[in-house]
Chains A and B, each alone.
Chain A
C-alpha cells in the first residue's frame, strides 16, 4: 500500500465505506451468479468480481451531480454509483420495479437520477456520449464531470480515437477510465496491442495519461480524484488506465480456460478486498468485527432485494409498446 499517510487521513468511516461498497459488489455478483446458474434469473450476465476497487475508487471521487457511463459489465459501476440492490436485482429479473422497468436488463443497468446513464453494451459505445455530456457541462458552465468506464478491448475501437481526440480539442470535463483486465472476452490484450500501457495512447491526443493499480482501491481513489478534480476545474480530459483482472468468466458459464493457471494465481493474491482488509487491520484502523458487521448486513440486504425482485410484478406483454417515444404512440 503506497498511501500510508493518506489512508489514515481518509479516516475510518470513509475507509469502511470503501470496504462496504466493494463487498456489496462482490456479494451481489456471487449471489446472482448462483441464481443465474440455478436458472432462476433470465438473460446473460457479465460479472465484475475482482475489479471492485476500480468502480469503488473512481465513484468515491465523484460529486453527486457527476455522471458515469458503463459497459456490458455494469453491475459494479451501478452499485458503486449508489443504485440500490432492489432496483438492480429487479431489473436483472426483468421486473417493473427495476431501474429500467425491465426493459434494460443486466447490460443496460442505470439510473440517470442517481448519476448513471443506462449502461451502453456496445464496446466503445459510451465514450462519445461521455464527450457530449462533458460538452453540455462546459456549454452550460456547470461544474460537473462525466466519466466513461470501458475495457482494454474498447481502446481498439474507432470510437475511442474519435472521442479522445474530440474531448481533447474541446477541453471538456470528461474522464476516460480504462479498466484493463487484460482480456477482451477470451483474447489477451497483449495479442491485440503492440504497446504495453493503454495510457500511453493519451499523448497522441495531447492529453494526460495515467496509470493506477486497479486492485488497490486507495490508489484508484487518489488518482481518480486528481483527474476528476482537474476536469472539474477546466483542466480537460484524462485517460486513466487501471490495471486490473477479473476473477470470473467473460459471461455466463465461461470457465476461463484461456487464462493460464499461474496468471490466475498471481492476480488472486492481489484480491482488492482481501488486500484492503489486511492493510486496514495492519494499520490498526479497524478490527475484524467492523468487517463482520458490514458483511452480515450486506447479506441481509441481498436476501431482501432478491425477495423484492422475485415478488415484484412482471410487466404486461403489451408494455413492449411503452416508453419508446416521448410524444407519440408506437405505430402498430
Chain B
C-alpha cells in the first residue's frame, strides 16, 4: 500500500497501540474530534480507536515530557509529540536532565522507554517554527536519535523506537509528511513508500545508501537527502558520480557505513539544514578525519545553513536552505580543485 510519512506513522502507531496496551500517545491537539490529528495529521482519527490512550494535553511541554518520563519509568511506553520541534526547548529540563539521565543516575536500574516525535524544517514560518535542532541533542548522551526520510523508514523506525527500552527522539520533516487537506504543506516533497502488509522494523544506528557512486560521498538526512539526490543526478550528467547516504539515525551514527563509502570515493560532503556551527557535519567530519585520514583526497566539505536563525522572507529562506544547485557547485569544486 502506498502511504505518505504521516500515514505510515499513523499506521505504525495504531498497530503498536493495538499490540501493547502500555503504549500511549500524549501531546497537544492530537485527538480532538474535528481537530488536526497533531500539527501534521499523524494521529488523525486514532482517538476513535483508543479513547484513553490518545491523550490531549494542555499547552504544557514541560508536563508533557515529564509525564511521559514518569509513566515510562513505571513501565509504560509513551509516545510524546510536540507540534513543532522548536517547542522541545520548552521541555529541555525534562528531556536533557531527566529523560536522558535517569537510567544512568540510577546505576542502570531504571528504563525510560519513551518515543519523542518532533517536526523540523525551514518552512515559511520565520525563526521559531522552523529550526533544525538535531545537533543540540547529538550532544546529549542518553538519547537515541532517528530521522526517517521515507515512509518506509518512518514506519519501521517508529516501531523500533516504541519497542526500544531507551529514549528515542524522532525528527520528522514538515515537507516530507505528505499531510493532506488543511494541513498540507507548501513545497512538500513526495516521500511516500509502498508499505508491506506485514509488520517490520528498521534498526536504529543503520544508514542506507540511496545512490551508489565512486567520485564523492554525500551524507545527509531528512529533506537534504532529496536535495543531495537532485544534485547527484545533475552531476551524473556532467560525468561526476556521487554516492548519497541517508543517515536515518543521527545517534548512534553509522560511521562504518560512511567510512566504507569514503574509502571508495576519497571525498566527503556533509549536507545539513541546521546552522553550520557545532553541527552534524562537524561531528561526522571529525570522526572521519580521525578514522581514515589517509583515504581523504580533499578536505571534508560541510554544506549547511548559515550561522543565523532562519529568516522569513522567501528570498532569504531559499538562500538559507542548502539547495541542490549549491550542493552540486560545492561537489564540483572539490573534485576540480583536488
Contact = CB atoms under 8 A, between A and B. Distances in A.
7 contacts: A104-B105, A113-B109, A128-B63, A163-B66, A324-B141, A324-B142, A325-B142
A101 B103 CA distance: 12
B53 A328 contact: no
A235 interface: no
Interface string B87-119: 000000110011000111111111100000000
B299 to A, nearest CB: 24
Interface string A49-77: 00000000000000000010000000000
Given A132-B68, A326-B103, A331 B93 contact: no
Interface in B39-93: 52-53, 55, 57-58, 60-63, 65-76, 78, 93
Which 10 pairs of residues, A with B, have the shortest CB-CB distance?
A: A128-B66, A132-B70, A323-B108, A101-B107, A132-B67, A326-B165, A162-B63, A162-B60, A129-B70, A136-B71
Contacts, number: 154
B110 A139 contact: no
Contact of A159 (B62, B76, B204, B253): B62
Interface string B190-211: 0000000000000011000000
A322 B166 CA distance: 14
Contact of B252 (A104, A134, A169, A331): A331
A111 interface: yes
Contacts of A67: 74
Contact of A104 (B58, B98, B107): B107
Interface in A155-171: 158-159, 162-163, 165-166, 169-170
A113 B73 CA distance: 11
A323 B69 CA distance: 18
Given A131-B70, A134-B70, A324 B104 contact: yes
A117 B70 CA distance: 9
B135 to A, nearest CB: 16
B144 interface: yes
Contact of B93 (A113, A136, A146, A159): A159
Given A136-B74, A159-B62, A162-B58, A128 B105 contact: no
A321 to B, nearest CB: 10
Interface residues of A, number: 49
Contact of A139 (B53, B68, B164, B253): B53
A100 B70 contact: no
Given A131-B63, A162-B62, A100 B106 contact: yes
Contact of B106 (A118, A163, A325): A118
Contacts of A140: 22, 76
Interface stretch (A119-127, A220-228, A246-254, A294-302): A119-127
A322 B104 CA distance: 8
Contacts of B98: 120, 122, 125, 129
B320 interface: no
Given A118-B110, A326-B111, A328-B144, A112 B73 contact: yes
A136 B71 CA distance: 5
Given A131-B67, A324-B108, A328-B205, 10 more contacts: A101-B108, A110-B106, A125-B93, A127-B66, A136-B74, A136-B76, A166-B63, A326-B111, A327-B166, A328-B204
Contact of A132 (B66, B111, B144): B66
B93 A122 contact: yes
Contacts of B102: 117-118
B24 interface: yes
Of listed B70, B105, B204, residue having the most chain A CB within 10 A? B70
